[in-house]
Structure 1
Amino acid sequence: MKKMFPKLTASLAVCSMLTSASFAAAEVIKIGVQAPITGQYANEGQSIDNGVRLIVEQQNARGGVLGKKIEVVTCDDQGAAQQAAICAKKLVNEGVKAVIGSYTSGATEAAQTTYNRAGVLQTSDGTSDSLIAHKYWTFFRNSFPNSAEAEYTAKYFVDGKQYKKIVILSDYSSYSTDLADATVKALKAKNANIIYEGKIKSGTQNFTATLTKIKSMDPDVIYFSGYYTDGGLLRAQQIQLGIKADFVGGDSNDNPDYMKLAGDSAKGTLLINVPTPDILPYDIAKTFLVDYKAKFNMAPASIWSLMNVDGLRAILHVMEQSKSDDTKVIAEGLHALKDFPGITGPVTFREDGERIGGGYMTYEVQADKSYKIVYQ
């Protein structure tokens, strides 16, 4: 009997350790971040991750949610569909309840099915209309769809600027193609004259062949629906070639790196987007911006960071209100959410996960890289 006691004591100790470990795991709610932490969209991805971590830090300081600590698990999808699919599997295996991201529509869509099958919530700033087409109960868009921006753009081009000769440029990404197609459709509905529709290969860096072809058409405006990484170079090369047309960038050109890439040529650029973070008329937005700058010694990269933060804030709000971390219960609460006070404005979701609302503005870039509102 004496020889059995050490074994029994050891067994009890192991059981105690396992119980403690299980209890500790149960006291943590994991939130995933899927974003381009590296690669060409890294400043956007890092800003999303920073914003999520700041909100989680503040929430944990207040006692977490449902008495549990929140833990952030980040996966770098590099803004690419293949890597996004890998991230989705990794985050599901990590046991996250919800995923914030991704930044690009292509990466977001590549992960959707995995999250849906696992019952993991996903909220993203991706704007492609196709993201809602699957009608996954797990998916919520915290931005606004390309079709809404396209309607605004067509109104601005036809009623506001009265452009007679319009060029539409996109890249091959799902986001850019979707926005360009929606804009063309909206312009044609207003009988606008589109003289050229073309595509560039993202990352090419030299677009002079395409721009030289466009120059011969003497357009009034060149509209680019792609990302800032190409938009800044397009604008710089447009000016170098002496093309006098207005350059209008879709919402993903609204980024500090656009200014760096365009250089002095950024002056006069017209950018279409929802209101920029610094002019949002909400106290909660002003407070968040102050806190973000104090924490990271910089401002968020763009409005997209704040939209992703609002996705997380809405999820945490519903958890607290429903007193549940069951994703089915949270999804039901999000679908019923009405005018939740978000950093980017009131948050209301339709039954298909689409965010309702959203007003757009056109900004003209000034010589000092500041913005002037010219149309809303």
Structure 2
Amino acid sequence: MKNIASTVRRFAGVLLPVAFAAASLGAQAQEVVKIGFSSPLSGPQSAYGTDNRDGLMLAVKELNAKGVTVGGQKVTFEVVAEDDGADPRQGVAVAQKLADSKVKFVVGPYNSGVAIPAGRVYNESGMVMMTVGSNPKITELGYPRLFRIGVNDVQLGAAMAVYAAKEMKIKNVAVVDDRSAYGQGLVQEFVAEAKRQGLNIVKQEFTTDKATDFTPILTSIRSAKPDAVFFGGYSAQGGPMLRQMVSLGVQAKLLGGDGICATETARLSGGAADGRVLCAQAGTILGKADTGRAFAAKYKAAYNRDPLTYAANFYDGAMLLADAMQKAGSTDAGKVAETIAKGSYKGVAGEYSFTDKHDLKSSPVSVYGFKGGQPEVLSSF
């Protein structure tokens, strides 16, 4: 009997520490939530993609440093960043890759032309998708877990047309789009509002989102003598287009949406942006609010450069997801989507509260000019 008792005590001495160790490991167990990212990290729009990614990464770094608990369990976040090249086919491949990797949340895509086809994959995979793509068709898809966390083309195009008519007092406008879903949608909405405001559309031209020589279309536009050229596209083309406008003697102002509302436009224009470029962009003016200034300072400290157009929205996207998870007490994509749809969140770039179609209920639009190569706010709508 003594031998049996001794054996039991020895086993108990081994099992007790093991049990305590197991309990300790259970208490420290963390759920890793992967947040997918889709934007162009290569090609002409890579500056914007990098800007978006770094805004998202900054938020995730802060969340993990602070510590987030969901339903009583500690959660850590991990970014799965993918390059969609601003190309629809590549964007669909990225969506499928993220779906196959069991990622449940994605912030992106950046481009409307990518968001529309990739959205189908994200929807079929049950993922929550938060995009800044501005083409109205995106939310018309009716996907229950898709949210637009930026402004749409209707608001951007209309604001720029109203400003051109009422503040700039111009009469004649030429329009150019880059044949992307974003560029075409933006020009369409600008033209519709411009006509309502009594402006004359004296020329309509198009290019591509990879073009570098705009001489033929600018020569055609020059003959129409417009007061302004509205461009539906991005800085990669907008900057060089302005430089070539100057060299060809086209005196018109260059107008556009958020795609050219960045220092990249000034850099690529060869310093011609000051007094020549006006653009419409959504959300809070970072330099006018404490939260915006704080974000811009943190971003610059982390990356040694100023944020461009949508870094703040991608930052907000991660914060919005984390907030919804905490409120839902779950990391289940369906429950998180329901919480986002019904609730609201105050972010750096504005208030995130959604309509039934999952567009933002309220998103102010500001018109910017350029001074010293930097966008400078002129008016807000």
In the superposition, the TM-score normalised over structure 1's length comes to 0.89
Residue 273 in structure 1 maps to residue 278 in structure 2: no
In the other structure, the counterpart of 1:28 is 32
Match 2:241 to one of 234, 240, 253: 234
Residue 341 in structure 1 maps to residue 341 in structure 2: no
In the other structure, the counterpart of 1:331 is 337
Match 1:165 to one of 166, 172, 182: 172
Whether contact under 8 Å (2:30, 2:76) holds in the other structure is: no
Whether contact under 8 Å (1:64, 1:70) holds in the other structure is: no
In the other structure, the counterpart of 1:45 is 49
How many corresponding residue pairs?
352
Corresponding residue SS for 1:178: helix
Residue 136 in structure 1 maps to residue 143 in structure 2: yes
Alignment of 1:69-218 (within 5 A): 69-218=76-225
* Aligned AA (1:97): K
Whether contact under 8 Å (2:57, 2:315) holds in the other structure is: no
Q: CA deviation at 1:275?
A: 5.6
Corresponding residue SS for 1:325: coil
Could you tell me how far apart the structure 1 residues matched to 2:242 and 2:218 are? 10
Whether contact under 8 Å (1:362, 1:374) holds in the other structure is: yes
Whether contact under 8 Å (2:111, 2:182) holds in the other structure is: yes
* Aligned AA (1:115): Y
1:24–1:88 CA distance, 2 compared to 1 (3 A): farther
Q: Which runs of 5+ in 1 are unaligned?
A: 1-22
Comparing 31-40 and 267-276, the one that deviates more: 267-276
In the other structure, the counterpart of 2:301 is 294
Q: CA deviation at 1:244?
A: 1.3
1:49-90: CA deviation from partner (whole Å, max 9, x where unpaired): 112112111111122342121111111111111110111011
In the other structure, the counterpart of 2:355 is 350
Corresponding residue SS for 1:39: coil
Could you tell me how far apart the structure 2 residues matched to 1:187 and 1:321 are? 43
Residue 63 in structure 1 maps to residue 67 in structure 2: yes
Could you tell me how far apart the structure 2 residues matched to 1:275 and 1:89 are? 31
Whether contact under 8 Å (1:164, 1:192) holds in the other structure is: yes
C-alpha RMSD over aligned residues = 2.1
* Aligned AA (1:327): A
1:157–1:277 CA distance, 2 compared to 1 (3 A): closer
Q: Which runs of 5+ in 2 are unaligned?
A: 1-26
**Poorly superposed stretches of 4+, deviation over 6 Å:** 23-26
Corresponding residue SS for 1:222: strand
1:230-251: CA deviation from partner (whole Å, max 9, x where unpaired): 1001111111111111221221
1:321–1:180 CA distance, 2 compared to 1 (3 A): same
Whether contact under 8 Å (1:361, 1:373) holds in the other structure is: yes
In the other structure, the counterpart of 2:323 is 317
Comparing 145-154 and 171-180, the one that deviates more: 145-154
Corresponding residue SS for 1:236: helix
1:97-121: CA deviation from partner (whole Å, max 9, x where unpaired): 2001111111112210111111100
1:170-213: CA deviation from partner (whole Å, max 9, x where unpaired): 11100000110111111222332111111112322111111111
1:255–1:235 CA distance, 2 compared to 1 (3 A): same
Q: CA deviation at 1:26?
A: 7.3
In the superposition, the TM-score normalised over structure 2's length comes to 0.87
Residue 248 in structure 1 maps to residue 255 in structure 2: yes
* Aligned AA (1:270): L
Comparing 329-338 and 80-89, the one that deviates more: 329-338
* Aligned AA (2:179): Y
Comparing 314-323 and 286-295, the one that deviates more: 286-295
1:134–1:88 CA distance, 2 compared to 1 (3 A): same
Whether contact under 8 Å (2:255, 2:279) holds in the other structure is: yes
Could you tell me how far apart the structure 2 residues matched to 1:353 and 1:276 are? 19
* Aligned AA (1:54): L
Corresponding residue SS for 2:229: strand
Could you tell me how far apart the structure 2 residues matched to 1:211 and 1:241 are? 8
Match 2:367 to one of 345, 362, 365: 362
In the other structure, the counterpart of 1:17 is none
